[in-house]
Amino acid sequence: MKKRILSGMRPTGKLHLGNYVGALENWVKLQGEYENFHLVADWHLLTTDLDTSNIKDNTVEMVIDWLSAGIDAQQSPIFIQSKIKQHAELFLLFSMLVSVPRLERNPTVKEQAKDLGLDNNMAYGHLGYPVLQAADILLYQAHLVPVGEDQMPHIELTREIARRFNTTYDEVFIVPNGKLTEFPRLPGLDGKKMSKSLGNTILLSDSPDEIGSKVMQAVTDPQKIRLGDPGRPEICNVFTYHRKFNVGEVDQIESDCRSGKLGCVACKKNLANRLATYFEGFREKRAYYLQHIDEVRDIISSGTATAQKVASETMAKVYQAMKIG
């Protein structure tokens, strides 16, 4: 039997290149080797945003991006967290197995608190979301969880909770491993973390024109002002993109940038063309799914039914081990 992967994202709508490089590309690569379960973590979204008005539309947009990037829903169920109530049940049980100081030490949660200016005002559910994430993962007995760097503390917590349950009650849970992508972080066009709220993204669904005008605004080496100036690829965002998406030409670009032969405008035009071609197939599939939204909804409901079955089986084992329920 294939080992299982559980991967999840919050439904924030259309995905950007950072989501692709940090996670989605890896999901697609791993789907033959493992049995992949793909979670739309809609409850997780509430930790940072109480406005629910766009969640359904954003879920569909995100799932369309998953499918267009190559997730094969026949072999890899796609499902919605809030449809499967066992996530909440297991979250409640797990919340008894972890201390408040342990949650307060989580570096990713701390960073969010700082970024959002929450100081000592964080919601109980926000502090506890890594426990919900542990429930997401362990409910499906996943062996592997492909994540970006920032999610690793949550995987560590998940492992602790699994062990704690297994030793307190009975050996129910597999202790999963996190798996970082080879290229864990693609910066935004300005060099900061790529994020919709910072307005520095390229979306997977952007048209060639949109890609072109965004790439033209990207920040490069500030010391390279005109053609002929030698550049420093190691500090250039555009070069990072070439490294990822233009492997065939990257060595030439590096030496021509350093020597000054290649100017930033030509280098950016090259990248924009490259990106437009790279995602051409993606855009075609996306156009298809947009015309066939019912098909997308069917994919989600049958994925949810598959996931529901596994979740119920795990919960039966949990209650048996705990001798309650």
Q: Which stretches of the chain bind ligand TRP, using CB under 6 A?
A: 6-10, 39, 41, 44, 133, 136-137, 145, 147, 151
196 annotated active-site: yes
Hey, what are 104's tokens?
């307060």
- Within 10 angstroms of residue 321's Cβ, the number of other Cβ atoms is 16
Q: How many CB atoms lie within 10 A of CB 67?
A: 20
Dist. CA 71–CA 75, nearest whole Å: 9
| 138 vs 86: CA distance, rounded Å | 11
Angle at 91 between CA 89 and CA 152, to 5 degrees: 150
Nearer to ligand TRP, 80 or 189 (CB): 80
* Nearest distance in Å: CB 283, ligand TRP: 24
What is the rounded CA–CA span in Å between residue 290 and residue 5? 27
Give the residue carrying structure tokens 């796609």.
Answer: 78
Whether residue 114 lies in the annotated active site: yes
Residue nearest to ligand TRP (CB): 8
User: Catalytic: which of 14, 179, 193, 317?
Assistant: 193
Q: Distance between CA 88 and CA 84 in Å, rounded?
A: 8
Active site residue 244: no
Shortest separation between residue 34's beta carbon and ligand TRP, angstroms: 14
Complex with ligand TRP: residue 106 or 151, whichever CB lies closer:
151
Q: CB nearer to ligand TRP: give 38 or 242.
A: 38
Q: Which is nearer to ligand TRP, 48 or 166 (CB)?
A: 48
Task: Please state the closest distance from residue 40 (CB atom) to ligand TRP, in A.
Answer: 9
Give the shortest CB-276-to-ligand TRP separation in angstroms.
Answer: 27
Q: How far is CA 319 from its chain centroid? A: 31
Catalytic residue, from 29, 114, 192, 309: name it.
114
**Which positions are catalytic?**
114, 193, 196
